[in-house]
C-alpha cells in the first residue's frame, strides 16, 4: 500500500455476520453477531541449535550468517517448496571465512 515503508505489510481485520438463536427466560431470541478478527495463524520460532535433528514442513530462514548455521537452518525443511528465504543470499555469504582460532586448532 502507498505510504507504508518497504517491507511493511498491513494485516487487515476480517468481518463477517451470522445469526443465531439464544434461549432467554424460556423463550428464544434471534441475535445477529458480527465478529471482527485479525487473520493471523499461530506459529513458533526455534534457534538453529534447537532445530538440529528436526525436520519441519516449512521454514522461513535468514542465511546471512553463512557456514554451518546456514546449512542447519536451510536443511530443516522436508522439501525445497517448504524453504523460504527472508532475503537474497550470495555464495560469498554462504561460504563464510573460517575463524582464525579454528584454523590454528585444526593445524595442530
Contact 59, 77 (CB under 8 A): yes
CA atoms of 70 and 94, how far apart (whole Å): 7
Query: 27 lies in a domain?
Result: yes
pTM strictly above 0.95: no
Query: 20 lies in a domain?
Result: yes
Query: 63 lies in a domain?
Result: yes
The alpha carbon of residue 44 and the mean position of all alpha carbons in its chain are separated, in whole angstroms, by: 7
Per residue of the chain (108 residues), what is the pLDDT tens digit? Answer: 678 888 888 888 999 999 999 998 889 999 999 999 998 887 778 887 888 888 889 899 988 888 888 888 889 999 999 999 998 988 888 887 767 777 788 888
What would the pLDDT profile of 49-77 be if each residue is shown by its tens digit?
A: 888 888 889 899 988 888 888 888 889 99
Query: 8 lies in a domain?
Result: no
- DSSP class of residue 98 equals P
Q: Give DSSP secondary structure letters for 27-55.
A: EEEEEEE--EE----------HHHHTT--
Residue 35 CB contacts under 8 Å (≥ 6 apart), including other chains: 15, 16
Amino acid at each position: 500500500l502507498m505510504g507504508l515503508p518497504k517491507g511493511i505489510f498491513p494485516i487487515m481485520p476480517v468481518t463477517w455476520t451470522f445469526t443465531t438463536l439464544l434461549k432467554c427466560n424460556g423463550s428464544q431470541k434471534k441475535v445477529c453477531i458480527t465478529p471482527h478478527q485479525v487473520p493471523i495463524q499461530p506459529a513458533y520460532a526455534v534457534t538453529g541449535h534447537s532445530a538440529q535433528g528436526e525436520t519441519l514442513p516449512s521454514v522461513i530462514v535468514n542465511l546471512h550468517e553463512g557456514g554451518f548455521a546456514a546449512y542447519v537452518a536451510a536443511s530443516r525443511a522436508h522439501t525445497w517448496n517448504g524453504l523460504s528465504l527472508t532475503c537474497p543470499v550470495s555464495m560469498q555469504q554462504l561460504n563464510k571465512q573460517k575463524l582464525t582460532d579454528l584454523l590454528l586448532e585444526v593445524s595442530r
